Chains A and B, each alone.
Chain A
């Protein structure tokens, strides 16, 4: 058997820079720091054991995210009740923008919301929306890369991303109104 050291060096050079991204995705999927750490460790060890199957020059991030997500689904996903998705059909498209455009058209109120509240709101999204949002808007994967990681068509990635952003904006807008970061838009008086 040959010395595995050169392989290990290449593995470390490719994979260690991705640990932050892996940890962030693991956190959002497990919603639990301790389980996220275990998930990242399992993912990296699996990747190490199958390193010879990684083709140099292909996308290391997609490869690692795929292993992490499969590991999550097989070993970590709790049999838990999924959050009830907001009825997005009842929410008009771009509702948060329309509500905020007069007072805060650049959406600066979003930045006033504390980090933990934003992360909680992401975690409260249904898993199928959450994973697309994280891969797209936090880890900056392309539609095609996300489709590959999740094994779904690009069109499904696009529609899930649209819905995820819409739901998150709605929740954060309502929170910003509640906290007084932005005034609620005038609503039509209730019918008698």
Chain B
């Protein structure tokens, strides 16, 4: 058989064939600029062409036009297309970035978001012009409530962190309405950084509770910090170690016992879709990351959407205005309503609406059966990788995981000097995105791997082989050096982050100063 250099097994999620690897730096738009060039074309309007000085008083006029860049449309397309070739993405290959749920993003969602009947609607249009949008939002809210086991939801928060802060303000308002002022919010030491940052902005003080040897909340330690000054607890379940908090009911009882509320951070909801619901676990407030679990997608860092669902007793406090169904069930119409004790508005308009339309599309295509399959296969993939890679790396919590597994490069580092960061960088040139490294903070040399349900067994095998090859190579001095100097084949080599902070160049214009 002819060796045609096609790697076996052929894995759809491996990007080593991608022509991503330009060696030259792409100039900035400003360096491509040539005075006198232009790309713009605007509509012929025949509006009377009054001179500028009759339109804008002199005190308000710019002395000279703001200098942007002057490029042709062809230059513009070339530039941004080349930039796109210097960017890894889910469409290119597997992206097992723990905690980020980088699953495949169905293209139908793009088509839906581009429908003029959705995309070209003004957010302040009168309600008789937006009946479709209101119905869509009501339908999505009902679906998210069913998925989370909650009673009502706000769709306004634009991302997970905005959802967290919303939840904390709901907690504050709920306690205050009962004449109860509380100051503390409990979070586990394995929590995402957004949790403590949101707690501070919500006007509360963070109380950290340690994890036990199993990687779960230490229930006794939790009981020790619970008192009548605790407004609530923020939990991720499965937690950031990818482990299910089995004691969740006792935790819920303990927190409710002192009059506190339970907040569910939806970062890891993908693991439990259709299997178990936060509401049934005892949570009072839940945020969802639609850009993760519902693949809306992530856009290089956003836009996301972070709806917050709540139990019945918190519904009167939700942000407003809320989309509502009105009229007879046989002939409904839709409008806006303000909850009676609303904490107020959270977004300039109604949230990241087109992201919400994508999420509803995702829910409908999957349905109850498909969503449960998402969770099952995500957990299957993560456990397969965990078992396959245990031994290659340390397994600090050696038990079945949910949608992601956290391994450690501690032994590798001790034996060879190759760190988790080096493994991450070396993996990039194997055609895979890196896992999350050094998080959660409680695991030394952490490698947090979340394959998601959309990667095939063949891709997982190729990914595992790549990890194993990296570790095997590290046993020789040359191999270890190759890892610590990796990556070699990417558009740029290892980037000097310290210099970026020391000599801050935040704009092209700061280069010369």
- Asked if A pairs with B, the answer is no
Q: Contact residues of B with A, CB < 8 Å?
A: none
